[in-house]
Chain A
Amino acid sequence: AQTVTQSQPEMSVQEAETVTLSCTYDTSENNYYLFWYKQPPSRQMILVIRQEAYKQQNATENRFSVNFQKAAKSFSLKISDSQLGDTAMYFCAFTFNFGNEKLTFGTGTRLTIIP
């Protein structure tokens, strides 16, 4: 079974700075997807960014980008110019490209942006 590991339970950074959240995963499959989800205090789960394993180019969404290292099974999230609204739990997640797309989540990183 695949596993997802987030080794940073909590992080904090000053507003406007850049922060990187780490995620590693383990799978023997070659065809899969990786995601970062954000969960603000409202508890709503919000997709931040996704990466398709067969694409070498790192995904980018505005201030959010990933560093996808397939051989190392690493998938980190970089948040540039951090804003107070980025304060949230961030979950890394994995799914196979098999159709039912069950998600396997990491344990999360609680990120606090300091004014």
Chain B
Amino acid sequence: DAGITQSPRHKVTETGTPVTLRCHQTENHRYMYWYRQDPGHGLRLIHYSYGVKDTDKGEVSDGYSVSRSKTEDFLLTLESATSSQTSVYFCATHGQDRGEGNEQFFGPGTRLTVL
């Protein structure tokens, strides 16, 4: 298994507070992704990164920002958490530059509850 860790694994916070989730990988993979999982929606892409300091928006990016200052870390920030951001957040990575349909490796997920 790819070495992907997420921290924290669980978090409860209050509406309006900032929250940062961290994804750390030891595989030197170029691409990193943040997804959220909600009942009835499957997993949806929030943001992704295709290299250090290179990021782009996904399908549900409103209210989220990301940063990647080094290859192994990809941070997801909720500047002012809302109850609609209560979800399970997954980080994923893959290393190939060009297609090949290679597998994305997923972290264990972070359950975030916004009260």
A residues in contact (CB < 8 Å) with B:
4, 6, 31, 33, 35, 43-45, 47, 50, 52, 91, 93, 95, 97-108
B58 at the interface (CB under 8 A from A): yes
B residues in contact (CB < 8 Å) with A:
31, 33, 35, 40-45, 48, 50, 56, 58, 88, 90, 92, 94, 96-104, 106, 108-109
Partner of A101, one of B43, B44, B88, B104: B104
Total contacts A-B at CB 8 Å:
65
Chain A residues, Cβ within 8 Å of B101: 33, 50, 52, 95, 97, 101
Q: What CA separation (Å) do A6 and B40 show in the bound complex? A: 10
Chain A residues, Cβ within 8 Å of B33: 102-103
Chain A residues, Cβ within 8 Å of B100: 97
Given known pairs A33-B101, A50-B103, A95-B101, the reply for A44 and B108 (CB within 8 Å) is: yes
A3 CB, min distance to chain B CBs, angstroms: 11
Partner of B48, one of A6, A45, A97, A102: A102
Chain B residues, Cβ within 8 Å of A45: 43, 90, 92, 106
Question: 9 tightest CB-CB pairs across the interface, nearest first?
Answer: A33-B101, A97-B99, A105-B42, A45-B106, A105-B43, A107-B42, A43-B109, A47-B103, A99-B98
Q: What CA separation (Å) do A45 and B43 show in the bound complex? A: 11
Chain B residue with the shortest CB-CB distance to A1? B59
Given known pairs A100-B48, A100-B50, the reply for A107 and B40 (CB within 8 Å) is: yes
B94 touches A106 (CB 8 A): no
Chain B residue with the shortest CB-CB distance to A42? B108
Q: What CA separation (Å) do A31 and B101 show in the bound complex? A: 10
Chain A residues, Cβ within 8 Å of B48: 100, 102
Q: What CA separation (Å) do A93 and B40 show in the bound complex? A: 15
Q: What CA separation (Å) do A99 and B43 show in the bound complex? A: 20
Chain B residue with the shortest CB-CB distance to A31? B99
Given known pairs A95-B101, A101-B94, the reply for A44 and B42 (CB within 8 Å) is: no
Chain B residues, Cβ within 8 Å of A104: 45
Given known pairs A33-B101, A43-B109, A45-B90, the reply for A102 and B58 (CB within 8 Å) is: yes
